[in-house]
Amino acid sequence: MRSVLSPLSLSLALAVLLLPFTMGVKQEDFKQCSQTSFCRRLRSIANRQEEASAGSFNSPYSLSAPEALEVGAWNWNLKSTLYPQINFQLRVDILEEGDGIVRVRVDEVDSTTPFQRYNETARWALLNTNPPLSSTASIKTASGKSIISYGPTASKLTLEVQHSPLKITQLRNGNPEIVFNDRALFHMEHFRVKDVEKTEEILSDSEQMILNGNKMDRSWFEESDIDAFEETWKKWTDSKPKGPEGFSLDLSFPGVNHIYGLPEHASPLSLPDTLGPHAHYSEPYRLYNVDIFEYLADSPMSLYGAIPLLHAHSSEHSVGVLNLVASDTWVDVRHDADAVRTHWVSESGILDVLLLPGPKPKQLFEQYSILTGPTPLPPQWSTAYHQCRWNYNDEEDVLDVQRKFDEADIPLDVTWLDIEYADEHRYFDWNHKFFPDPVKMIDEVASKGRKMVAIVDPHIKRTDSFRIYSDAKDLDVLIKKSDGSNFEGWCWTGSSVWVDFFNENSWSWWTKMFNLNTWKESTNALFIWNDMNEPSVFDGPEISMPRDNIHAGGWEHRDLHNINGMMFHNQTAQALIAREVPAKRPFVLSRAFFAGSHRYGAIWTGDNMGDWEHLAGETAMLLSNNIAGMVFSGADVGGFFGNPTPELLVRWYQAGAFMPFFRAHAHIDTKRREPYLFDEPIRGYLRDIIRLRYQLLPVWYNAFHDSSLTGVPIMTPQYAAFPEDEQGFAIDDQYYIGDSGLLTKPVTQEGAETTQVYISDAQPYYDYFTHRLHPASAHQTLTLNTPISTFPLLIQGGSILPIRQRVRRSSPLMWQDPFTLIVALSKEGTASGKLYLDDGVSYGYLQGEYISKSINFDGKSLSSTSTKIVTLSKETGLETYDPENNTWAQAISHVKIESVIILGLKNSPKSVKFDDQEVEWTFEYGVASNGKKEGESSELKIKNPGVGVVGDWKIAFA
């Protein structure tokens, strides 16, 4: 569900909404850099640097000698020759965890104004606002430089802080990997009070603006700006009570050709240039959460989420930067022969940058997870198939969907309700005309092992008869206008207000709203969808909230805009956790997100189009989300807008079944397209791919569990899987599922009968469906047959997949079903895998209520061994964990391995035994894993070997 653009009334909103889908995004409703005062000013510094003669453009900033604050932390006084009377302070921290994470902060100090820069981004994004510091880092200062040594001895990490002009370089083994202020583009605008008694001399748009009568010529560095203290765009005026407070920084990455990150954008994974002779875009990448209508499939325009994280990668090393800024931010990218250079400009906030040392992608994922936390293990059912549209009409419609999925033998776990379930769009209040008995409806859905999700958006209908509004008004927890009155805007409810979730007084009240004694027409089988939380305001600037609105603590909305959606997401998740004792894992879907949002639930890529171009672009978007920690993400399967052809819909489902969040969704004006509505063979194709998702749910749950421990992606891009293979660094249309060895590539071309897949490593790969073996050969491109009935899904040699071949109508009903192990041999004739299981809904796994198995084939035996869970910081449940006698293990002690399929054996074994007893097996000759021929692989099939998922066991081959 989504908004429309700039309506004057709700009726106009709906009228605009119902225009033909071909209207597309109205780019004029969103600012470009040239229309944004701070971006014009700060981006122009780079133009001056480019135009200056070599060696003539030096940073006006310099440092004094360092002052030790505590072990692992130092301060420098920072001055600018542009404004020598203004005081800044640079602080460097070396963190204890993460093998050498460096934190660099700059803030204005001792200001003569009453103003303060926003300094709370870390409070919301990081697990610990001030992480513990290293006790081993040391500093030496000489010849105008401070050299800090830190990190593991073998890493040989140093941070070189050049005092004048300011420059900071992170080096490994003496080689620079990250350079701050390499191009002298760092600038922090200082606070000043606009003095109406003095005439401000404004010469022209391109000349210097002289503030407070100061006649110093700064035009070589700064650009004048008549909008510095007040800015008007279209019909809106931003009052800017603190005046200009932007900052810019440049970060260069020597020796790399690829940078990744900055989600969310509909752009390639390896970010192309926004400047220079090879510019792919004419605008910088923008990080500013907005409600955007039918976004372009290839654009640097801002979308619904913003994570200011970059990875820079070469075959020799990987590094990362996390820029903790929540205000409107634009990032330019330029690839030079010796480095990739970036220029960041932000509207407000302090400079708070964390340098992640890597040295490989795996360590970058772990380091980011140390800072922001990993994605908690979600409810198992939420990893299955979700069915949604705007809107299911009434209770009978909802129950009819359940019946027809069952009749078509298509599994389903979650049915969703969009905004029309709510009376006058007053979320929490059911429209009893169409949903007369919500609890009965939810209970009937739950009787099939399924769940429901209902939307709860942040806009609250402004009417005293609505308890949510009256409560929030009485508690005084609403977002304010700049004059201190409650902000009112227009959204689906009509005239609306918004709760300020930065106000701690709102938290316990919001939790109470979801209590089953308060929201009596809900049950513990109802979960929540937080949409429109960018925030979306139909009659606001850029379909959002005025920047001079006021939040708790006196902070302006401009300061924390990109965190707003995360606060709403967080409090809703906490409310669901609190509604049951003992607590169950929540599921809350959000559209807006920021660094750290992954701790609270899933996101999706918003209001996409049901066309081939958007299908092709979704993989890169989701890979970008995954490397930035937002692993539980997906796209609207089928496209939100439009009516895809049957072929396109099948391809959407094939792609969606391999997204971590697998949900079909559609606009209210689209034709109904539930998979059971189609005739054969289309219905069969859709049924088969959904059923395949259910068969592979153990593989997905393994991947979610791994991510919950170390922050590794669930969708693993080629560069992260094979960080030394340069041929794979720009590939963003195929990926691996965690470390399972499953490699997939969506088919995104109409009529495609073949699809090419790139293979980095010298291992055999097996077609999942046919078991055809492609012999080991590094850096090869496979051409696979992909008629509409199939798509590329390969098993990497050396992998063991645990699957469940029996599919029931919902995944919770499969918990006692047996497993099949698919063993795909490496060229060395070995394989390994894992199986993690818990009850899927509670937090008992944190107290050791789980089973975790390491499964290995060494050529002579196939064995399963219990393992203990190790996180980045501690081992979980070590003292209490009993691999066979914990409550969950006992509950599934009867669950068996019903079959084992071993692919790629060279010869048939003479015997296969468990516990010295021969088991039932057959062998079919075919291509071996260590050969050079392509063809059907050999298959050893073991039936009912007599082993289970809980105890340790070994099957011997002779």
One DSSP character per residue, 13-55 reads HHHHHTS-GGG---GGGS--GGGSHHHHHHHHHHHHHHHSPTT
Is pLDDT of 334 > 80?
yes
Task: Give the pLDDT score at 207.
Answer: 37
Q: Which residues contact 304 (CB under 8 A, 6 or more apart)?
A: 264, 289, 290, 291, 292, 534, 565, 591, 592, 593, 603, 605, 606
Task: Give the pLDDT score at 214.
Answer: 52
In tens, the pLDDT along 239-276 reads 999 999 999 999 999 999 999 999 999 999 999 999 99
- Range 288-301 average pLDDT: 96
| HSE (side-chain half, CA atoms, 13 Å) at 748 | 20
Give the separation between CA 304 and CA 714, rounded to whole angstroms: 21
The angle at the Cα of 177, spanning 247 to 330, to the nearest 5 degrees, equals: 30
Residue 541's identity, in one-letter code, is P
Q: 3-class SS at 818?
A: coil
Is pLDDT of 17 > 90?
no
Calculate the average pLDDT of the chain: 94
Contact 802, 814 (CB under 8 A): no
Is pLDDT of 198 > 50?
no
Q: How confident is the model at residue 811 (pLDDT cuts 50, 70, 90)?
A: very high
Active-site pick, 227, 231, 500, 531:
531
The 8-class DSSP code of residue 321 comes to E
What is the residue whose two structure tokens read 């992954």?
A: 598
Q: Which residues contact 662 (CB under 8 A, 6 or more apart)?
A: 383, 384, 385, 386, 634, 637, 656, 693
In tens, the pLDDT along 917-952 reads 999 999 999 999 999 999 999 999 999 999 999 999
Cα separations in angstroms, 273 against 270, 332, 339, 382, 626: 10, 7, 12, 37, 22
Q: How confident is the model at residue 872 (pLDDT cuts 50, 70, 90)?
A: low
The 8-class DSSP code of residue 938 comes to P
Give the separation between CA 89 and CA 119, rounded to whole angstroms: 14
Is pLDDT of 159 > 50?
yes
Q: Give the dihedral sign, CA 482/485/491/495.
A: negative
Is pLDDT of 204 > 90?
no
The 8-class DSSP code of residue 927 comes to B
Task: Give the pLDDT score at 874.
Answer: 53
Determine the angle formed by the axes of helices 505-513 and 467-475, rounding to 10 degrees. Answer: 160
Share of the chain above pLDDT 90, in %: 92
One DSSP character per residue, 282-310 reads SS-EEE-----SS--SSB----SEE--EE
Active-site pick, 607, 618, 674, 706:
607
Is pLDDT of 570 > 60?
yes
Task: Give the pLDDT score at 881.
Answer: 83
Active-site pick, 99, 107, 534, 767:
534
Provide the greatest CA pair distance for the chain: 99
Q: 3-class SS at 524?
A: coil
Q: Reply yes or no on whether 915 is catalytic.
A: no
Cα separations in angstroms, 931 against 581, 823, 904: 57, 17, 9
Is pLDDT of 20 > 50?
no
Residue 352's identity, in one-letter code, is D
Give the separation between CA 275 and CA 342, rounded to whole angstroms: 10
Is pLDDT of 568 > 80?
yes
Task: Give the pLDDT score at 880.
Answer: 64
Give the separation between CA 384 and CA 697, rounded to whole angstroms: 7
In tens, the pLDDT along 514-526 reads 999 999 999 999 9
The 8-class DSSP code of residue 939 comes to E
**Bridge partners for 138 per DSSP:** 149
In 3D, which of 399, 401, 265, 435 has the Cα closest to residue 333?
A: 265
Contact 334, 276 (CB under 8 A): yes
Q: Reply yes or no on whether 488 is catalytic.
A: no
Q: Reply yes or no on whether 197 is catalytic.
A: no
Task: Give the pLDDT score at 379.
Answer: 98
Contact 787, 681 (CB under 8 A): no
Task: Give the pLDDT score at 510.
Answer: 98
Q: How confident is the model at residue 24 (pLDDT cuts 50, 70, 90)?
A: confident
- Range 812-828 average pLDDT: 98
Contact 948, 893 (CB under 8 A): yes
**b/e per residue 680-710 (b: at least 16 CB within 10 A):** eebbebbbbbbbbbbbbbbbbbbbbbbbbbb
- Range 781-802 average pLDDT: 98
SS (H, E, C) 421-454: HEHHHCCCCECCCCCCCHHHHHHHHHCCCCEEEE
- Range 589-604 average pLDDT: 98
Task: Name which of 196-205, 291-300, 612-621 the model is least confident about.
Answer: 196-205
Give the separation between CA 658 and CA 715, rounded to whole angstroms: 9
Helices (H), ranges, 462-514: 467-475, 505-513
**b/e per residue 153-163 (b: at least 16 CB within 10 A):** eeeebbbbbbb
Task: Give the pLDDT score at 197.
Answer: 34
**Bridge partners for 168 per DSSP:** 161, 180
